[in-house]
Amino acid sequence: MPVFYGTDIASRLMLGTAQYPSPAILADAFRRSGAGIATVSVRREAGGDQAGQDFWALIRDLDVALLPNTAGCHSVREAVTTAQMARELFDTNWIKLEVIGHADTLQPDPFGLVEAARILTEDGFQVFPYCTEDLVLCARLVEVGCQVLMPWGAPIGTGLGLNNLYGLRSLRAHFPDLPLVIDAGLGLPSQAAHAMELGYDAVLLNTAVARAGDPAAMAEGFARALEAGALAHQADPMEPRDMAAPSTPVLGMPFS
């Protein structure tokens, strides 16, 4: 199971808390999936003594680790300020860092992301950066103190799966001991299983679960797929080959 900044997490599944049809369905999705971390947008919800207390009571009752995020931030200053608000509201140094650089694809701004990560790490935050699979960008994020990387599989909310298998494999090979989480773009449990087969440590989902016809069932499906994929990776699967190979060799068998 993943270990983030020295904290053991009991599940490979991380779930967002937006877009669910109702609070009860959100809670059921977490219960059936056994998700270990809940992410929440500081800009969307209020905490502490402000409005939205029913929402925060629900999140607390889930009994999972909370990962606030800076969703919707488009500048370094905006992201840093939002992260500082999150630490005050939720008493945690964890922050999922988003610095959006492109409005249509929601692709991260690599330059702003590195700068914000540096500022926050120096301020004592434990940063979970939403990034692309670019090796140079990821190396810079590690250099400024990030001990987890969260590359996208595809643009947020698209459900397209793992768009750049070469890049994701290269990233896993380049950082063999660093926790890697696929964040964004997954739409089906089979895609999550594939991420585990590549050696990734966890996935973060929101739209694929919240917008399903039965969010709780979909969340459970993702949880089961993650375990299957992780077992397959641990089992050292066979290498694909171009030519057929009989499962029952004929060598040494009698024939007439």
Interatomic CA distance for residues 116 and 80, integer angstroms? 6
Q: In this predicted structure, what is the pLDDT of residue 58?
A: 81
Catalytic position from the list 13, 16, 86, 96: 96
pLDDT at 251 over 80: no
pLDDT at 60 over 90: no
Q: What is the pTM of this model?
A: 0.90
pLDDT at 44 over 60: no
Give mean pLDDT, residues 211-219. 96
246 assigned to active site: no
| Residue 90 pLDDT level (bands cut at 50, 70, 90) | confident
| Residue 247 pLDDT level (bands cut at 50, 70, 90) | confident
Which residue did the predictor score with more confidence, 104 or 225? 225
CA-derived radius of gyration, the chain: 20
Tokens of 239: 């290498």
Interatomic CA distance for residues 83 and 77, integer angstroms? 10
pLDDT at 256 over 70: no
Q: Output the average pLDDT for the chain.
A: 91
Q: In this predicted structure, what is the pLDDT of residue 43?
A: 64
pLDDT at 114 over 70: yes
pLDDT at 45 over 80: no
pLDDT tens digits for 189-207? 999 999 999 999 999 999 9
DSSP 149: B
Interatomic CA distance for residues 194 and 172, integer angstroms? 13
| Residue 51 pLDDT level (bands cut at 50, 70, 90) | very low
pLDDT tens digits for 221-238? 999 999 999 999 999 998
Contact (CB, 8 A) for 223 and 33? yes
Q: In this predicted structure, what is the pLDDT of residue 12?
A: 96
Interatomic CA distance for residues 92 and 103, integer angstroms? 29
Which residue did the predictor score with more confidence, 132 or 41? 132
> By C-alpha distance, which of 156, 42, 163 is closest to 106?
156
Q: In this predicted structure, what is the pLDDT of residue 96?
A: 97
pLDDT tens digits for 132-191? 999 999 999 999 999 999 999 999 999 999 999 999 999 999 999 999 999 999 999 999
215-234 and 23-33 helices, crossing angle to 10°: 20
